[in-house]
Structure 1
Amino acid sequence: MKELGKQSSLLINRFTANGAYLALQEGGEVLLPKSYLTGIEKEGQELEVFVYTDSEDRPVAVTNRPKALLDEFAVMEAKEITKFGAFMDWGLPKDLFVPKAEMRKPMEKGSRYLVRVCKDFKTNRLIGVSKYEDFLIKDTQGFQEGQETEVLLFEETDLGFKVLIEGNFEGLLYKNEIFQPVKIGDTLRAFIKKKRDDGKLDIQLLPIGREKYEEGAEKILEILKDQKFLPLHDKSSPEAIKELLGMSKKHFKQSIGQLYKAKKIRIQDDGIELV
């Protein structure tokens, strides 16, 4: 069945007491249960649905979109652990099963893991796989240092957070370069800091080089336009600067230096104010 694990637009063939039967592309039908119908649908109408198998391994359509489609990654919480594997919350009534053999490491209930949705060709069911390294692309030649990208935070380490870059590459975000609240499962705008020899990428959340300070200056300027005064200065503690602005002290000093040279602000003993 081509639709398994995918988001598809299917036509309503007929209605029964159980719901609506939708026409599959290669013939046959799949049930959209009555609980997903609003009551105004008509035969021949096209509906956007996700197709997977229910608790009895029968194909079924739902109008919910899961956290990940077939061959996609998402961070999922382990809801139940058994001797055979783990059941993950992926946003659908039936949890996604990760067989024990497909676990990268033993899972714990309530913890969150990076999981890829795959098809088990022996059973024709969707399963989860947490051995993410098997699916990553090692060749990072297409990336340039300073390039903007999108990352998914999926695992915390002693150094920082492992991130999935554009769904295909692994990177690392260092703790000492994070100046905003973040957590596992966050999708963030980021920038390539360094391309490493092992094929992985170091990333940071602020633009590289001078552009970084320009962005910081713009942030401070916007706050001053609203508040007129900011109780931060050269002698302010790094903790106070991080709490109010979400940036490092070095970043702050570079940014207000730009604004001062541009005659946008006045630097007082107790803070800075808009000119």
Structure 2
Amino acid sequence: MLQVGMFHSLEVVNEVPFGFYLDGKDKGEILLPTKSAPLGCKLGDQVNAFIYHDSDDRIIATTKRPKVLVDHCAYLKVVSVSKVGVFMDWGLEKDLLVPFSEQTYPMSEGLSYVVYVFCDEETGRLAASTRLSDFLYEESSDEGGTFEPRQEVELLICAKTDMGYKAIINGSHLGLLFRDEVFKPIKIGHSMKGFIKSIREDGKINLCFQFHDPTARNTLEEQIIEDLIAHDGLSTLTDKSSADEISKRFNVSKNAYKKALGSLYRQKRILLDKTKVTLVKKSD
């Protein structure tokens, strides 16, 4: 069955002055306008096309890739406000509607928001929503996947709360990054890697960017040694460096980096002073 909001490989079955018609199976023939057709398109070709509704609510095809597909989340910008909701730029000629009923709070033109794209069951048309909890799972045991502590995941930061930040996990679940786990500047809409820190008794998911146990410290220590080797045994990134510099190099907090340096110093693997870190050669 053809799904609106997705790419499908469809056969060109008719050519007209303004484009081509594709075999849309249960949706009938679907127009692929000339400007959206591949160069040299002809009858019998298979075209990988995105299916959606145009401004006249007709099902139409394009080879242009939108910024987000149906049943996925994205950080999009509001380009206009109307009587029925707001419209967001998602990379196609017809902007994406977020009805007022799907807005957690009023959305403003010129600002960007994380939204979930869905297909309206009544109209069959695509729309978006900021009510992420209506579409995403909030417990690890929910259908859609079970997570384990220490598992690496893809995160999309979607909201700021009094406790920290909410993030979308692997496009399917919602989790929480506590404020003390955020050691680098992050903003709504940022995509990054993170970890499952723990699963609470109620099934809710806690997230983190790093672990503070001995295993994690040992891994960081080896990363520091490898970095020193790659830079001829010398680094100006010391325990006096800024948290931002440390985060950019090793993706860890300044506190974690200082502890790893201290451990390497006690092991006599490095020398430390205010301006540099020096690798101790085995023959020294």
**TM-score > 0.5 by shorter chain:** yes
1:116 Cα offset (Å): 1.8
The match for 1:151 is: 155
**Kindly tell me: are residues 143 and 242 of structure 1, through their superposed partners in 2, closer, same or farther at Cα, counting changes over 3 Å?**
closer
The match for 1:73 is: 73
Q: Residue 251 of structure 1 aligns to a residue in which SS?
A: helix
**Kindly tell me: are residues 234 and 140 of structure 1, through their superposed partners in 2, closer, same or farther at Cα, counting changes over 3 Å?**
same
Whole-Å Cα distance in 2 between the matches of residues 121 and 244 of structure 1? 47
Deviations 1:177-221 (A, max 9, x none): 233443322222111112234443221122463343244334433
Question: 5 Å matches for 1:240-251?
Answer: 241-242=246-247, 245-251=250-256
Report the RMSD for the aligned CA atoms in angstroms.
Answer: 2.6
**Kindly tell me: are residues 133 and 58 of structure 1, through their superposed partners in 2, closer, same or farther at Cα, counting changes over 3 Å?**
same
Are the aligned partners of 1:190 and 1:207 in contact in 2 as well (CA < 8 Å)? no
Deviations 1:226-267 (A, max 9, x none): 264223445556566457655323211232245446654322
Whole-Å Cα distance in 2 between the matches of residues 133 and 116 of structure 1? 10
1:272 partner letter: V
1:55 Cα offset (Å): 0.6
Q: Residue 101 of structure 1 aligns to a residue in which SS?
A: helix
Deviations 1:76-124 (A, max 9, x none): 2222122321101222211111111121211122222222222223322
- TM-score, normalising length from structure 1? 0.87
Q: 1:188 aligns with which of 192, 209, 212?
A: 192
The answer for unaligned runs of 5 or more in structure 2 is none
Q: 2:236 aligns with which of 217, 231, 239?
A: 231
Are the aligned partners of 1:146 and 1:208 in contact in 2 as well (CA < 8 Å)? no
Are the aligned partners of 1:79 and 1:88 in contact in 2 as well (CA < 8 Å)? yes
The match for 2:174 is: 170
Q: Residue 210 of structure 2 aligns to a residue in which SS?
A: coil
Whole-Å Cα distance in 2 between the matches of residues 223 and 192 of structure 1? 26
Are the aligned partners of 1:14 and 1:43 in contact in 2 as well (CA < 8 Å)? yes
Whole-Å Cα distance in 1 between the matches of residues 225 and 41 of structure 2? 52
Q: 1:273 aligns with which of 258, 278, 281?
A: 278
Q: Percent identity?
A: 37
Are the aligned partners of 1:191 and 1:208 in contact in 2 as well (CA < 8 Å)? no
1:46 Cα offset (Å): 1.2
Are the aligned partners of 2:2 and 2:27 in contact in 1 as well (CA < 8 Å)? no
- TM-score, normalising length from structure 2? 0.84
Are the aligned partners of 2:66 and 2:91 in contact in 1 as well (CA < 8 Å)? yes
Whole-Å Cα distance in 2 between the matches of residues 153 and 97 of structure 1? 22
Whole-Å Cα distance in 1 between the matches of residues 207 and 5 of structure 2? 31
